[in-house]
Amino acid sequence: MNGTNFRMPARRWATVATATALAAGPVALAGAGSAHATVDQGRASAVVLRTGLDVSLLNKTVDVPLAVSLNEVQAPQSAEKTALTAQLDGVNGGQPFTVLGADVATAKATVSATKAEGYTNLAHARLHVPGLPLLSLIEVDAVTSKATCEAGKAPVATSHLPGAVTVLGKRITVTASGPTEVQVPGVGSVSLDLSKTSTTSRTAAATALELKVSVNPLKLNVADVEGTVTLAQATCEAPEVVSTPSADPAPDVKPQGAPAEAGLAETGGSSMTPYIAGGAVLLLATGGGAVMMTRRRRG
C-alpha cells in the first residue's frame, strides 16, 4: 500500500517534468538569432562663397593672400548673411572693402538618421576683388546648389544658374559644355565653369560657379590678382546603416505534433526527437530512483 502510494506520485512527477522539458525546449530557442543595426552618421556642408586668391601689391613688393568664405556651414547648421567684408593692408587705403554683396545669401546643412543634405542659395550677388572698387568681377541674378544623400538611395547633386551673368562688365551666357573665357583689355581675364556636379555611391557635390581669375588692372595700387573663386557649393555623405546578425541564427522551430520532414520520416525521427529523447531519459532516471527507494522501504 505504501509502495503504491509512493510510486504513483513519483511517476506523475516524472511525467510532469518530462512535459515541462519538452515545452521549454522550443521556447528557449525561439529567442535566439536576433539582429541589431548600427548607424554611421551622415555629413553635409554648404558655402555661399569661398576665395583662394593671391594679391600682389604694386611692383609685386608684397604678396597678400585673400582667403575668405561666406556662410560656410557643416551640419546641422544654417546661416544667412548678405555681405562679407575683408581687410588687406595696403589695399583700398587700408580700409575694409566688400568682397561679396547680395540680396540673399543662404547656406544650410542638415543631417538625420536617414538623410544628409547641403543647400545654398544666392540672389542678386556682386563679387569684387582688390584693385577694382567700381567694377564687379562677376554679378549673378540667382544661383542655387543642392546635394542630397539618402541612405540606401543614389545621391543627387544639382546646380542651377538661370539667365546670364556679368563678368568684368560684360554680359554673357554661361553654358555647361565647358569653361567660358572672358577677357577685358587693360583689366584681366576670367574663366568660368558652370554647374559642376559629381556623385559616388554615398557622396554628392555641387558647385554652381567656379572662377579662375587673373586680373591686372592698370594704374591702380594692385598689380596682380590670381586664384580661384567658388560660388554656391553643397556637399553631402549619406548615413550608412549596417545590419549585424548574431553568431547563432534561429533554427527552424516547429510546434509539437507537426508532420515530420521527409528526411526524418524515413528514419522514424522528427524535429521533436531531441526533446522526446531528453524527456525519456529524465523519466527513466526518475523511475529508477523511485524503484530503488521502494525496495529499500520494503527491505
Same domain, 77 and 206: yes
Same domain, 17 and 56: no
Same domain, 282 and 213: no
Please determine, for residue 35, whether its predicted confidence score (pLDDT) is greater than 80.
Answer: no
Please determine, for residue 233, whether its predicted confidence score (pLDDT) is greater than 90.
Answer: yes
Question: Scanning the structure block, which residue is given the C-alpha cell 572662377?
Answer: 211
**Average pLDDT value for residue range 13-26:** 42
Where is pLDDT greater, at 268 or 123? 123
**Average pLDDT value for residue range 244-273:** 50
Q: Look at residue 48 and tell me if it is in a domain.
A: yes
**Average pLDDT value for residue range 4-33:** 41
Same domain, 291 and 145: no
For the chain, the average pLDDT equals: 74
Q: Look at residue 68 and tell me if it is in a domain.
A: yes
Same domain, 147 and 288: no
Same domain, 84 and 202: yes
Same domain, 204 and 131: yes
**Average pLDDT value for residue range 222-239:** 90
Q: Are 51 and 72 in contact (CB under 8 A)?
A: no
Provide the residue range defining the domain that includes 286: 1-25+269-299
Please determine, for residue 7, whether its predicted confidence score (pLDDT) is greater than 50.
Answer: no
**Average pLDDT value for residue range 58-64:** 71
| Structural domains counted in the chain | 2
Instruction: Give per-residue pLDDT as tens, 124-176.
Output: 999 998 878 788 999 999 999 999 999 999 999 999 887 779 999 999 887 76
Cα torsion 242, 248, 254, 255: sign: negative
Confidence bin at 20 (pLDDT 50/70/90): very low
The phi, psi pair for 94, rounded to 5°, reads: 75, 5
Last residue in a domain, options 222, 241, 260: 241
Q: Side chain identity at 139, as an amino acid letter?
A: E
Instruction: Give per-residue pLDDT as tens, 185-214.
Output: 888 899 988 888 999 999 999 999 999 999
Q: Look at residue 259 and tell me if it is in a domain.
A: no
Most confident stretch, 96-110, 246-260, 261-275: 96-110
Same domain, 142 and 47: yes
Neighbouring residues of 215: CB distance < 8 A, sequence distance ≥ 6: 129, 131, 132, 137, 187, 188, 189, 190, 224, 225, 226
Q: Look at residue 254 and tell me if it is in a domain.
A: no
Please determine, for residue 227, whether its predicted confidence score (pLDDT) is greater than 70.
Answer: yes
Same domain, 157 and 213: yes
Q: Side chain identity at 125, as an amino acid letter?
A: A
Same domain, 168 and 89: yes
The C-alpha cell that represents 6 in the structure block: 509512493
- pLDDT value of position 66: 87
The phi, psi pair for 46, rounded to 5°, reads: -155, 145
- pLDDT value of position 297: 53
Please determine, for residue 49, whether its predicted confidence score (pLDDT) is greater than 50.
Answer: yes
Where is pLDDT greater, at 98 or 174? 98
Same domain, 13 and 147: no
- pLDDT value of position 64: 81
Q: Mapped to the 3 state alphabet, what secondary structure does the chain carry?
A: CHHHHHHHHHHHHHHHHHHHHHHHHHHHHHCCCCEEEEEECCEEEEEEEEEEEEEEEHHHCCEEEECCEECCEECCEEEECCEEEECCCCCHHHCCEEEEEEEEEEEEEEECCCEEEEEEEEEEEEECCCCCCCCCCEEEEEEEEEEEEECCCCCEEEEECCCCEEECCEEECCCCCCCEEEEECCCEEEEEEEEEEEECCCEEEEEEEEEEEEECCCCCCEEEEEEEEEEEEEEEECCEEEEEECCCCCCCCCCCCCCCCHHHHCCCCCCCHHHHHHHHHHHHHHHHHHHHHHHHHHC
Same domain, 221 and 82: yes
Confidence bin at 221 (pLDDT 50/70/90): low
Q: Look at residue 261 and tell me if it is in a domain.
A: no
Question: Scanning the structure block, which residue is given the C-alpha cell 529567442?
Answer: 31
Share of the chain above pLDDT 70, in %: 61
The C-alpha cell that represents 291 in the structure block: 524503484
Phi-psi region of 33 (alpha: psi -120 to 50; beta: other; left: phi over 0): left
Q: Look at residue 264 and tell me if it is in a domain.
A: no
Q: Look at residue 70 and tell me if it is in a domain.
A: yes
